[in-house]
Homo-oligomer: A and B are copies of this chain.
Amino acid sequence: MGASITMSRSGTSSLPSPRVTMRDVAEAVGVSPMTVSRAFKDDQAVNAETRARIRQAANKLGYVYDSTATAFRTQKSGFVAVTLPSINNANFAETYRGLAVALEESNMQMLLGATNYRVEKEEELVRQLLTRNPEALVMTGGHHTQATRDLIAARDLPVIEMWDLPGEPLGRAVGFSNAEAMALIVEHLAETGRRKLAFLGASEGADSRGAERRAGAVAAAAKLGLPEVVLIDAGPAPVSMRHGAARIERIGQGIRKFDALVCVSDPVAFGALSACQRLGLNVPEDIAITGFGQFEVAMVSEPRITTVDVGARRIGEEVAAMLDGLFAGEDVADRIDVGARLVLGGTS
């Protein structure tokens, strides 16, 4: 199956036909632009028959409503800005869906931006998103540069941080404690007799949620009197299946000196699991493997991966419900802890 390319000139550039506006529709129907405007928002004040004629004329003329002008005039963009670490995150997809469904009902559009796990990139992104006059800002995570905090503080804008529960939230927050969730895993491993734990995650630095999970694992092990957790660096964030697999393959049989491999996320755990299988290890007899986040892969793999469910979907829904409440001017929760729940699989 060969690849191919066909070329042609840039396009049949007919003269750029001037935009059809409400004024044009109004003239065609013989009413004022105001009436057209009202007709388009189903304003009851418009005569039903007039409205029908307006609709018809608009269709005939190919009129398309201009949100940009409305956003400008009303100072309401209809946008909710959302930052996330990476679009390539199956788990965020669940959160996104929860958000999307509810926002659609409030006629809001999501303006997405990826930070690539870097707070500096986040700052730039927030700066850019704010120029679009979003009506709310939803950020994944609770770590930001001071400049980001200042930018946001300078505006009277609802802010929701999700997936974390920051000590000093910028506004509202919907999330859970990554450290506590990870403690559930470590407690389970200790209870089932595992002692020599390794933690597999991204390099220190960029990914703050990953860092909290690592710290949570280390602290929980210490509290339970286990030997110190050995940290295995799978490279810079984002780390996924392939990084988990490659890192374990590089360690080879040396991985046998641990009896549990605690992974920063389910994809990493799946990569590690596959690598262990290739190395001829029996999971969980030779080594236990745990994930984080209850991604789809954890529920499907053979064996299924022990993980924690952090309610990715619910986070999105709660954020959306908060936004709905805020837009409606209602009282709204400041902080929602969605909790976390251990999900036992066959890898531990």
Q: Which residues of A contact B (CB under 8 A)?
A: 1-11, 14, 16-17, 19, 62, 64-69, 71-72, 75, 77, 87-88, 90, 93-94, 96-97, 100, 109-112, 114, 127-128, 130-133, 151, 154-156, 158, 176-177, 180-181, 183-184, 240-242, 245, 267, 270-271, 274-275, 277-278, 296-297, 299-302, 326, 329-341
Contact residue among B6, B75, B180 (Cβ-Cβ distance under 8 Å from A1): B180
CB distance from A75 to the nearest CB of B (A): 7
Contacts of A154 in B (CB 8 A): 62, 64
Q: Count the copies.
A: 2
CB distance from A8 to the nearest CB of B (A): 5
CB distance from A81 to the nearest CB of B (A): 11
Contact residue among B181, B300, B335 (Cβ-Cβ distance under 8 Å from A271): B300
Contacts of A130 in B (CB 8 A): 64
CB-CB under 8 A for A9 and B300, given A1-B184, A19-B75, A67-B131: no
Contacts of A274 in B (CB 8 A): 300-302
Contacts of A245 in B (CB 8 A): 300
Q: Which residue of B lies closest to A9 (CB)?
A: B331
20 contacts between A and B (CB under 8 A): A1-B183, A1-B339, A3-B336, A3-B338, A5-B333, A6-B334, A6-B336, A7-B331, A7-B332, A8-B331, A14-B156, A64-B155, A68-B68, A68-B132, A87-B93, A88-B94, A90-B90, A110-B112, A267-B296, A297-B297
